[in-house]
Amino acid sequence: MDGNFGDDCSELIVGGAHIVVTTDPVPRPAAFVIGGDPDLYWMGWLLVTINASDLAAAGATPLGFLAALDLEREMPLSELERLLSGIRDACRHEGLLYIGGNVREAKQLAAVGTAIGTTNSMPGLRRVGASDGDQLVIIGSGGRFWADAIAIRQGGQVTRETSPLFRPTSQLAPMKRLREAGLIAAAMDNSDGLLPSLSLLGKANNLAAVLDLGVLNMHRATADAAKSLGIRPAARLWLGWGDWNVVCAVHPKDLARVLEQASVERFEATHCGYFEAARSGVFVRNEEVIVPAPRLESERFASDSWFATGIESYIDALKKCDLPSS
């Protein structure tokens, strides 16, 4: 464990092959907490996604998935079938083989997933590896989760089949290809929100992270959604958890190749900042103004985590946290 403690995945070398493994419990899905839909299909889908996203951060090829399910005695068979359907469909989408797990009786419904992947003969990506001057690139879309979440809270509608609020997906495919091309210096699954993720990635490398809000504000889809929802600046939609993208450090010499590969292979890559040794912590930038990032936590055991204060307080903080306007 010493070599991987604190990373998104643990890694084993078996017969010369690097096997990466991760395990995570599923929280109450945003589909229910925010979207008001109690269908257990979304719980099964999310269980797979949160584990697949860890494999993505390692740049792994997906192999298998196991689920340990705690089921209430009174659970209707139809609800169990929906839960299993969500797991099955998400595994198919992520390229994971659903290979089993465990079922037991419990007082409260809960589920833990374990995902297994491989990086073949090379080590997987880790949080450590970034250097002073490396560029911050986010692989995967940003802002859409909270655009959909706020839209629903305001009485709007979203398409469940494509919305990350209901059916989030990992960045397994593009991260695998970027790792194989040797273009990523360090990476981290963005599961707790962009600012906390940048803080952890910076600390792992003894670097500060500087996030360029101007880039996020000008992102076409984000800007359009923010305008329709009355959110200013638009970059707020990127800051919360829920998009299941991957935060990466890229050496300056490799940046153009990463962006070119994203264009050719049609996945989203957003260059929106950099890492530096001259500071400590996370900073947000808008034009020439650079200030310390506001605290916007979703970590467990923190007094201001939304797990403790509720989802409404988190949405309020997302809308009102101090950000430089220029």
- Report the C-alpha gap between 205 and 219 in whole angstroms: 28
DSSP string, 170-222: --HHHHHHHHHTT--SEEEE--S-HHHHHHHHHHHTT-EEEEEHHHHHH-HHH
**Cβ atoms of 63 and 96 closer than 8 Å:** yes
- Report the C-alpha gap between 211 and 199 in whole angstroms: 11
135-320 has which fold?
Answer: Phosphoribosyl-aminoimidazole Synthetase; Chain A, domain 2 (3.90.650)
The ranges assigned to domains in the chain are 10-120, 135-320
pLDDT digit string (tens) for 101-128?
Answer: 999 999 999 999 999 999 999 999 999 9
Local confidence pLDDT in tens for the 326 residues of the chain: 345 667 999 999 999 999 999 999 999 999 999 999 999 999 999 999 999 999 999 999 999 999 999 999 999 999 999 999 999 999 999 999 999 999 999 999 999 999 999 999 999 999 999 999 999 999 999 999 999 999 999 999 999 999 999 999 999 999 999 999 999 999 999 988 999 999 999 999 999 999 999 999 999 889 999 999 999 999 999 999 999 999 999 999 999 999 999 999 999 999 999 999 999 999 999 998 999 999 887 655 556 555 556 788 899 999 999 999 75
CATH architecture of 10-120: 2-Layer Sandwich (3.30)
pTM here?
0.94
Classify each residue of 202-214 as buried b or exposed e, where b means 16 or more C-beta atoms within 10 Å of its C-beta. Answer: bbbbebbbbbbbb
DSSP string, 95-143: T-EEEEEEEEEESS-EEEEEEEEEEETSPPP-S----TTPEEEEES--S
